[in-house]
Structure 1
Amino acid sequence: MGHSRTRPAPSPRMKRIKRRRAQAARSAAAEVVRFLRTEQIGGLVLLGATALALIIANSPLAGAYQRLSDYTFGPEALHLNLSVSAWAQDGLLTVFFVVAGLELKRELVVGELRDLRQAALPIAGAIGGMLIPALTCFLIAYGAPGGADAWAVPVATDIAFALAVLAICARDLPPGLRVFLLSLAIVDDLGAILLIAILFTAHVAFLPLLGAAAVLLVYFLLQQFRIRGWWLYLPLAVAAWALVHASGVHATIAGVAVGLLTRVKPDAGEHEAPAEQLEHTLQPISAGVCVPLFAFFSAGIAVSMSTLAALFTDRAALGVLVGLVVGKTVGVLGGAAVAVKSRLAQLPEGLTWRDLLAVAVVTGCGFTVSLLIAELAFPQGEQQILIKEAVLVGSLIASLLAAALLRRQVRARAR
């Protein structure tokens, strides 16, 4: 008859070792999350994902990469049997738009955009930064294949990329410069979101849309009645996303709605408002996982000398490139100048027009939202590849020019 063996109880020394290891693991995880909240790291992770996608798409692994992008999964009954790349575009990117909605709500309620005179400068810059690139692209591409669809691509500014360039190259410049760029990019994103909702909704199923509105109303009421519990809000947010997707409206709009409906002012005795808590939780997930994965599945295009040369012969692609590099600079700087000259706004204290010129150039980093609009505006094919290449090359040129201008401003102020 066998004897059962009992494992000896761990010694106090082993307990201390396990406790220290657990604390070290928690500390390491917290450090990773903290790093992902910094603008430099978020931009570098995004850049790394893009570079990896380009390397794989131009290597012998290109076929496997394409098969992975096209692999479909999800419940067919809910019309959610999507490809991996579609899940990245419609699903993961929604988290990015939740964060954008939270930032917009905070700026409108307690931030720079709550004061119309303070908000006038970035709003005017954002409007100019959307109109002039769109007009530039339209005029260059008019009458060419794809010219009627390309104009919307260069209107957006990538918050992560632009703030990363600013954080890396211009730490010593006045903080008002970052506030101006952040406020401008948020207004810019709102314009891009509206364009996505208006231009890329072919057919609307009103029953799912009404269902989404009802779910979002419940979300809003729970916020107003100060009811807490992520286990209540997460299913509501997922249901709103699924219903908006089923309606035919681009699903990322649900993310913006969730952000805008979240309470942003803390009550008496609250350490932080729900919007701040949610942004604190989602921002590292967005910067470290969602946006890089979207970039990985969106930026993986085959690049060759012939396609790069075609950027300057295909007028739609050339319009996107010039719209990002030139149109954004002229539009942002021109919009800000009109606001100041008409006395609707004034330059923030400590900033000069040369500072604003550098920021206007960095808004040409279209990237995430521009790539999204490119995928929505153009079906799979050679022209979509050219438009994406134009976004990538234009964003690279704008970031390098802006970095040079920002470093020059830093040196000038140091002298």
Structure 2
Amino acid sequence: MTVPPGRSTPRLFGRGSWPEVSRIADILRTETVGGALLVGAAVIALVWANSPWSGIYEGLTGLQVGPSALHLDLTLAQWAGDGLLAIFFFVAGLELKREFVAGDLRDPRLAALPVAAAVGGMVAPALIYVAINARAADGALAGWAVPTATDIAFALAVLAVIATHLPAALRTFLLTLAVVDDLLAITIIAIFYTRSLQLVPLALALIPLGLFTLLVQRRVRSWWLLLPLAAATWALVHASGVHATVAGVLLGFAVPVKRRAEGPGPGLAEHFEHRFRPISAGFAVPVFAFFAAGVSVIGPDGFGPGLTDSVTIGVIAALLVGKPCGVLGATWAVQRFTRADLAEDLSWWDVLGLALLAGIGFTVSLLIGELAFGAGSERDDHVKVAVLLGSLLAALLATVVLRIRNSHYRRMCAEEERDVDADGVPDVYQTDPPPT
């Protein structure tokens, strides 16, 4: 939300600063490639789990590795969910902190829109799921948080294919919304899905976390000092009963964003983000998808029983109806409360397309499904089917809406690209008068 010069009414989805637009573009490229790898890994897992060699897949996911003395003799699937996703949430923590400390969202007026949309996009799906499963038995209500999170990589990969010229402000909005609701989802995991809490390991985790914070605040970048402290923090949080991915968020929030003194080069948060985002998007999330998405849909009972389960119906309805209604409704509420207008050339159809994309839930949704119903349980399999179907249908609906607008976006981008000076910055981002 910006206030153009000479105008008193703020605009939603106004142009951000050119440095921020360029940075977001770099992030989107990495996440788009990661999204393609994520989808590929999920397809491989789904095909393998329904092939004659499904026993090999099940044996691989259940293979235990790690030191039992430290209670880290986990299966490969658990290592992917507890360990690799900690990298994903570490990067998400870095990104969110950087946005609110040094990015365009450091202005509360700009931050209000994506934060409100993320909250609305979590509350509405949860309410729809609860309404459908209110009278269901067998603990179906435990999965109320499954449809609350948007998958960053998956949604951005779909967006890159269907709307190649979407304005940067809308892309930034979708990215920030997805990061915020993923971090809200990890808060839900820590509060509602921690079944047993061990206070001693949790208290001990403060020691390596404090040392890590002290070193990064002094701008120490030595991996051989920071990585063991991060690993110790993760292991102790895991031993405490709190989901280990929470450690990734805490470590990300500990990293400073701004440089201590003026000088060339990125700050420490940006430095870590450049190092770890490719690992997160290109390895951690796809590997988790490979171990989490393998559900058998051609068993003796066929595909039908899973589709008639209230859990499956609740998740699909929440992703297809709850997410768009929550995001669109919260955006409209911000517009009404602030009396803002949409940015020039944009319409509410654009917001609807993004709200439909927000219904693509995968990584965190599958993780919550495992925590709610137990990995490998029948209900967990139903959650996987629901998340896959709901995300696919949300992507198809978003495609219908955004493809209609794509030619309009293309004309806008063509006009901007013609107005580029020798400095490489489009004129539309150079609103300040030249120095005298």
TM-score where L is the length of structure 2: 0.84
Specify the alignment match of 1:73 in structure 2. 65
Identity among equivalent positions (%) equals 53
Pick from 122, 146, 149: which aligns with 1:153? 146
Distance 1:60 1:99, change over 3 A: same
Q: Is residue 331 from structure 1 mapped to residue 326 from structure 2 by the alignment?
A: yes
Q: 1:59 aligns with which of 51, 54, 58?
A: 51
Q: 2:388 aligns with which of 388, 392, 399?
A: 392
Cα pair distance change 1:163/1:197, threshold 3 Å: same
Seen in structure 2, the aligned counterparts of structure 1 residues 149 and 181 have a Cα distance that, compared at 3 Å, is same
- How do 1:362-401 residues align onto structure 2 when only pairs under 5 Å count? 362-379=357-374, 380-401=376-397
Aligned partners of 1:294, 1:56: CA distance in 2, in Å? Answer: 15
Residues 268-288 of structure 1, C-alpha deviations (whole Å, 9 max, x = no match): 124011111111111111111
**2:317 is matched with which residue: 312, 322, 328?**
322
Aligned mates of 1:116, 1:348 — CA distance in 2: 18
- The question of whether the paired residues in 1 share the 8 Å contact of 2:32 and 2:160 is answered with yes
1:269 is paired with a residue whose SS is coil
Contact between 1:307 and 1:386, CA under 8 Å: does it hold in 2? no
Q: By how many angstroms is 1:171 displaced? A: 2.2
Task: Assess, with a 3 A threshold, how the Cα gap between structure 1 residues 311 and 348 changes in structure 2: closer, same or farther.
Answer: farther
Asked if 1:113 is matched to 2:109, the reply is no
Answer yes or no: is the 8 Å Cα contact 1:118–1:345 preserved in 2: no
1:203 CA drift (Å): 1.4
Q: Does 1:209 align with 2:205?
A: no
CA 1:96/1:243 → structure 2, altered by over 3 Å: closer, same or farther?
A: same
Instruction: Supply the RMSD in Å over aligned alpha carbons.
Output: 1.9
Q: 2:403 aligns to what?
A: 407
Structure 1: gaps spanning 5 or more residues = 1-33
| Separation in structure 2 between the aligned mates of residue 157 and residue 414 of structure 1, nearest angstrom | 26
Q: Is 1:256–2:252 an aligned residue pair? A: no
Q: Is the 2:197–2:242 contact (alpha carbons within 8 Å) kept by the matching residues of 1?
A: yes
Please say if 1:298 is aligned against 2:292: yes
Distance of 1:344 and 1:160 partners within structure 2: 33
Matched, 1:175 2:171: no
Q: Distance in 2 between matches of 1:48 and 1:90?
A: 21
Q: What amino acid is the match of 1:323?
A: A
Per-residue CA deviations over 1:130-166 (Å, capped at 9, x if unaligned) read 0000000100111213331121100000011111122
- Partners of 1:71 and 1:222 lie apart in 2 by 36
Once the two structures are superposed, residues 164-219 of structure 1 have per-residue CA deviations (whole angstroms, 9 ceiling, x without a partner) of 12222222121110111111111111110101101111111111111111211111
CA deviations 1:243-263 (Å, max 9, x no partner) are 100111000000111111111
- Give SS of 1:38's match: helix
Partner of 1:4: none
Structure 1 residues 412 and 133, CA, compared in 2 at 3 Å: closer, same or farther? same
The alpha-carbon distance between structure 1 residues 324 and 81, as it changes in their structure 2 partners (threshold 3 A), is same
Match of residue 15 from structure 1: none
CA distance in 1, matches of 2:302, 2:336: 43
Would you identify which runs of 4 or more consecutive aligned residues in structure 1 move more than 6 Å?
A: none
Residue 344 of structure 1 and its aligned partner are, at CA, apart by 7.2
With normalisation by structure 1, the TM-score equals 0.88
